Amino acid sequence: MKKKLLALVCALVMILSLASCGLSTPDTVGKVGDFEVSSGLYLLAQFSAYQQAAQLADKDQDTTDVKAFLKATITTDADSGETAVVQDYVADKTLETLRTFAAIDARFAELGGELTAEQTQVADNYAQQLMDQYGSTYTANGIGLETLKAFERIQLKHTLLLTLVYGPDGESPVDDSDLTEHLDSQMYELAYVNIPLYNTSTFVSASDDQKAQMLQLAQAAAASCSETQDGSVSEQVSALHSAASAALPDIYAVLDSTPAEDASNVQTELLTESDLTGAFTQDGAADAVRGLVYGEAAAVQYNAASIILMMRIDPLQVSTLDALRTQILSDMKGDELEDALTAYGSTLENNLSTSAMNKMPASKIVNPSSSSNS
């Protein structure tokens, strides 16, 4: 599933910064529909657009040289060969992001959504955490706590829209049987133990021969869990833990290392198809997960530095369908909701002020390390 726009904006604002570099900054830049766009949200959207352009840059294009990169041309569609000047691309994507913010806000209100005091506090608390961690960057670039609160509340509304649109009482409800089928066929609840392919004291990496030896030992541990395939989830997890506890000393010994006391602790996680393709980067690793039935264990090298000793378990023995509903809907209907919000946002009237936006040009986007040069 494609990365969601709001999640991308959130990640970017925590990493890099924006700067008005001495220009007077207006409180707002106008409205999209009935949604008033603060200067902080405008800067956030603009930098998100720039970062999207940077991801499309050729290897010989320097995206840290903002002014030069804005004049460059990028390929926006590899299949068709379509290109765009970065400055135009950034302007278009900035407006698209702001339209999405406005669409989220409008659709949430239309469907009777209202943030509770508790939900608002959760969003505000997260905004405060971001400010506590990255406050110097935000403050230096004109992004204050109120902007972060506004953004976090939009993001929360975006999440809640899944239920308002597709929930049991939603506008277009998804039947529980369809949710269950998607959970069974497209999502993977794993109980697992991670095994590093390096000495945990010296950090020396395993050789190819050592990796093969460690994997063989882990696979033998997985095979020892087969008798619990028809048991309860608690029995299956217990069996995986016991197998890991027995096998890890020999596995770690391959690298003259010893496991920590908690090395055999079993973790659980519900993965989507996109999680598999993103995290299980070694050949055949993702397919190994897809091939597991509930209660079946396996061990694979899933990235360059780790082996995973894992067992697929029934997610509905770990949580209820209601508890998993939003997560399933996000995977099942997230792209559809994004497309609907984009279409809705495109219909909203654009009353943004050109003069206000010109006071915060994309050419002033900088990395934190270079902000003092503005």
3-state SS, residue 300: strand
* CA atoms 253, 207, 268, 190: torsion sign: negative
Give the three-class secondary structure for 174: coil
Closest CA to 298 of 187, 186, 190, 182: 190
Q: Which two structure tokens, joined as six digits, stand for 19?
A: 């700067």
Q: What is the pLDDT of residues 219-268, one digit of tens each?
A: 999 999 977 788 899 999 999 999 999 999 999 999 999 999 999 999 99
Q: Which CA distances in Å does 133 have to 40, 138, 154, 293, 324?
A: 18, 10, 21, 42, 30
| 271, 289 contact by CB (below 8 A) | yes
pLDDT at 214 over 70: yes
How remote is the C-alpha of 160 from its chain's centroid? 17
Q: What is the mean pLDDT of residues 133-150?
A: 80
**Residue range 291-315: average pLDDT?**
96
| 97, pLDDT greater than 80 | yes
CB atoms within 10 A of CB 98: 26
The pLDDT value recorded for residue 25 is: 65
Q: How far apart are CA 55 and CA 73, in angstroms?
A: 13
For 43-55, write each residue's pLDDT tens digit: 888 878 888 998 9
Encoded tokens for 185: 């066929």
Per-residue pLDDT, 267: 96
Residue whose C-alpha is closest to residue 112's, from 36, 171, 56: 171
Token pair of 280 as six digits: 């299980």
Q: Rounded distance, CA 167 to CA 40, Å? A: 32
Q: What is the pLDDT of residue 140?
A: 67
Please say if the pLDDT value at position 369 is more than 60: no
SS3 297: strand
What is the average pLDDT value for the chain, to the nearest integer?
89
pLDDT value of position 82: 95
Amino acid at 54: A
Q: Tell me which residue has tokens 């804005």.
A: 70
In the sheet that 187-196 helps form, which strands lie side by side, from edge to edge? 267-272, 187-196, 306-312, 297-303
pLDDT (0 to 100) of residue 370: 42
Q: Is the pLDDT of residue 177 over 70?
A: yes
SS in 3 state form for 329-363?
Answer: HHHHHHHHHHHHHHHHHHCCCEEECHHHHHCCCHH
Predicted local distance difference test score (pLDDT) of residue 373: 39
Q: What pLDDT score does 46 carry?
A: 86
* C-alpha of 94 from chain center: 20
Residue 358: the pLDDT is 94
Residue among 77, 81, 57, 59 nearest 69 (CA): 57
| pLDDT tens by residue, 328-362 | 999 999 999 999 999 999 999 999 999 999 999 99
Is the distance from CB of 29 to CB of 42 less than 8 angstroms? yes
Instruction: Give the pLDDT of residue 141.
Output: 61
Would you state the structure tokens that stand for residue 301, as one six-digit string? 């090298």
Helix (H) or strand (E) holding 239: helix 233-253
Check residues 214 and 79 and name the one with the higher pLDDT.
Answer: 214
| Lowest mean pLDDT segment, chosen from 5-14, 103-112, 189-198, 292-301 | 5-14
* Alpha carbon distance 361, 171 (integer Å): 40
- Counting every residue, how long is the chain? 374
Whether 283 has a pLDDT exceeding 80, the answer reads: yes
